[in-house]
Amino acid sequence: MLAAAAVLLAIGIGLGWRHQAVQRASYATAVGSLAEVTLADGSRATLSSDTRIAVSLSRSERHIELQQGEAYFTVRKDPARPFVVEAAEHGVVAVGTRFAVRRDGSHLRVVVTEGVVRLESHADEAPPATLLPAGSLALVSDGGTVVRSFPLEEADRYLGWRQGYVSFHHTPLAAAVAELNRYSTRKLVIADASIASLPLGGNFRWTNTEAFVRLLEQGFPVRAERHGEVIELHAR
């Protein structure tokens, strides 16, 4: 599900990348839009809502800066030119693989669905790089890096946004609201702290905030108050 409203900006296009020392491009999506772009080397990037990347391709390296948001990369194999995604003082290095990187401030999430990537920290006294094979989930925070494994058939649990939905598994309401707010200009606000920890599960279309709110009102002790582009959630 790719929204046509995505903003795609390409800089330095004219000669092919093989005839330039460096080719640069920038791509961005608005809130509630997705976009799939093909880079000059043949790799593809699927940009999630409110995402911005800066691309720099040279004869020796393919460099992507994830400035905000989340992107899923399908990397064309080229052993002579590593594909490096930089975000929040970390680098995710691949040759030919499929993986996603999500940036939330200084926190990162890396999901690998094919091949192997190398997760590196650029911080002083950084730990050794971590190899992440397919089926790996890496969570990077100020406290360090946690790596988990998941069955590949469950990848959509983390990457369902590409098909237009988000998945929750015993997820506190506060976290579910924060996730849905990434994809919509109509914002949910928890107005009563007593409901913030209510556990939710299931798949929800991020294009339909109203349906999510109706489910809350029908199945949980929650009532909603609508104020234009803001929906307040109260205890009932």
Q: What is the CATH number of the domain that holds 134?
A: 2.60.120.1440
Please, which residues have CB within 8 angstroms of residue 79's CB and are 6 or more apart in sequence? 95
Instruction: Please identify, among 88, 121, 154, the residue that sits at the C-terminal boundary of a domain.
Output: 154
| 43 shares its domain with 88 | yes
Total domains, the chain:
2
Q: Is residue 159 part of a domain?
A: no
pTM: 0.89
Q: Are 140 and 107 in contact (CB under 8 A)?
A: yes
| 118 shares its domain with 17 | yes
| 180 shares its domain with 147 | no
pLDDT tens-digit map of 140-182: 998 889 999 999 999 999 999 999 999 999 999 999 999 999 9
Q: Residue 228: which CATH number?
A: 3.55.50.30
| 70 shares its domain with 146 | yes
| 118 shares its domain with 215 | no
pLDDT tens-digit map of 95-111: 789 999 999 998 999 99
Q: Is residue 169 part of a domain?
A: yes
**Terminal CA-CA length for the chain:** 35
Secondary element (H or E) of residue 200 = strand 199-205
Roughly what angle, to the nearest 10 degrees, separates helices 173-181 and 209-219?
A: 170
Distance CA 41, CA 57 (A): 8
Helix (H, G, I), strand (E, B) or coil at 159: helix
The parent domain of residue 98 ranges over 7-154
Instruction: Please identify, among 154, 186, 215, the residue that sits at the C-terminal boundary of a domain.
Output: 154
Angle at 117 between CA 115 and CA 120, to 5 degrees: 175
Instruction: Please identify, among 133, 154, 175, the residue that sits at the C-terminal boundary of a domain.
Output: 154
Q: Is residue 38 part of a domain?
A: yes
Lowest mean pLDDT: which of 77-86, 124-133, 225-234?
Answer: 124-133
Q: What tokens does 21 get?
A: 């020392």
| 194 shares its domain with 127 | no
| 109 shares its domain with 222 | no
Angle at 132 between CA 128 and CA 73, to 5 degrees: 120
Question: What are the backbone angles phi and psi of residue 13, rounded to the nearest 5°?
Answer: -85, 135
| 24 shares its domain with 54 | yes
The residue among 215, 197, 195 whose CA lies nearest residue 205 is: 215
Distance CA 165, CA 95 (A): 29
Q: Is residue 1 part of a domain?
A: no
DSSP per-residue string spanning 37-81: EE-TTS-EEEE-TT-EEEEEEESS-EEEEEEEEEEEEEPPP-TTS
| 32 shares its domain with 72 | yes
pLDDT tier at 19, thresholds 50, 70, 90: low
Q: Is residue 218 part of a domain?
A: yes
